[in-house]
Structure 1
């Protein structure tokens, strides 16, 4: 992870959060969407941001994730759109994160 040492207002503007959104998290629970924005910006899991785990990332993937193409190749219907392939990639990440969380918890 790249160390990004800068003022909070800069981060809020950079990831399109409202003014003082991050400061408000001291008193109220962040929305899932905002939490995801911060996690994606710092390339860490939301569980890591919430202090639920010491594991920064549950998965490692590249922009050209061929495994998504392999999954999609097993479909017998019409061709997948780019949007559908992205949804498959996101679901794969979700399943991988859940599996790693269970391993970490010793389930």
Structure 2
């Protein structure tokens, strides 16, 4: 039996590219249950091309140090192509509310 967690109230959805053990950053969508200055913990709704329903989503923790910067992305990604040179060191982490998750999907 899995434990149910409460979401954070302020912008509980996090979308980012994560440089874990992969050769390249992988897109993640997480419904946040806890956040600190070093770690984001939550239900992983998307990992790369794998999209999960909430009931099947595992709870995982992500180090903020491993969240990719725009400059680390594949050059084919629009996010990198449209970024100016001084924006390449910007984080890919974007927080939003539940309405945005429902509207755009994982």
Going by fraction, where is helix more abundant, 1 or 2? 1
Going by fraction, where is strand more abundant, 1 or 2? 2
Same structural fold, with TM-score higher than 0.5 when normalized by the shorter chain:
no
